Amino acid sequence: QKEVEQNSGPLSVPEGAIASLNCTYSDRGSQSFFWYRQYSGKSPELIMFIYSNGDKEDGRFTAQLNKASQYVSLLIRDSQPSDSATYLCAVRGSSGDKLTFGTGTRLAVRP
Amino acid sequence: DAMVIQNPRYQVTQFGKPVTLSCSQTLNHNVMYWYQQKSSQAPKLLFHYYDKDFNNEADTPDNFQSRRPNTSFCFLDIRSPGLGDAAMYLCATSTSMGKGETQYFGPGTRLLVL
């Protein structure tokens, strides 16, 4: 079982729709969770992070964390073509010293 | 603007010819990381420095070395690049390694091995 799992996609949504990206992790003691956006050929860019169960909103982005289910998600409201990218989930595990990344979900927003 | 800078952005080397990649930061962060990312794969941590303390991941090949001469600079040395070492190399920094710390990435260096 991979430590951090994401569906590779592509996830295709029409412009203006809500895109839902999901991530599961294996280390039950994981402490913090990060979403990065990576455009093709570019480096990862931090979108947001979450530590506590529940929802955290930042503009069009909402991160959701459910530690009991070991599940974290990212919702993008009013999706724009410029949101088309790979979204990486990263988890800081129970050891607390480093991030483990998923392979990312490719999102395509259709105009 | 405070930032993480990587040079060069593109590096072409020959099989077996040593290469050095550079990372500098103006964030004054204590921790610097080197990741390797191959196409459609997750970034893979190679090693990190917490101040002068070097931490090597267990599965990082001996072919990869790193130096951090001061707070601002960190180098990745690949002693004898193989075709399998062609990848994007990402430098990242963070203030510390606690629960709340986020990592900020440089633009990356794409390495091509001929």
Interface test with B, best of A50, A99, A105, A106 (most B CBs within 10 A): A99
Helix (H, G, I), strand (E, B) or coil at B72: coil
Q: What's the half-sphere exposure (Cβ side, CA atoms, 13 Å) at B55?
A: 13
**What φ, ψ does residue B33 adopt, rounded to 5°?**
-125, 150
pLDDT at B47: 93
CB contact under 8 A, B106 and A43: yes
Using an 8 Å CB-CB cutoff, list residues of chain A that contact chain B. Answer: 4, 8, 31-32, 34, 36, 41-46, 49, 51, 88, 92, 96-104
Radius of gyration of chain A (CA): 13
pLDDT tens for each residue of chain A, 111 residues long: 669 999 988 999 999 999 999 999 999 989 899 999 999 999 999 999 999 999 999 999 999 999 999 999 999 999 999 999 999 999 998 877 789 999 999 999 999
Q: How near does any CA of chain A get to the CA of B40, in Å?
A: 7
Closest residue by Cα to residue A24 from A80, A83, A86, A89? A89
Q: How would you write A37-93 as a 3-class SS string?
A: EECCCCCCEEEEEECCCEEEEECCEEEEEECCCCEEEEEECCCCHHHCEEEEEEEEC
DSSP string, A7-36: ----EEEETTSPEEEEEEES-TT--EEEEE
Q: Residue B104: beta bridge partners?
A: B93
What's the pLDDT tens digit per position in B72-114? 999 999 999 999 999 999 999 998 877 778 899 999 999 999 9
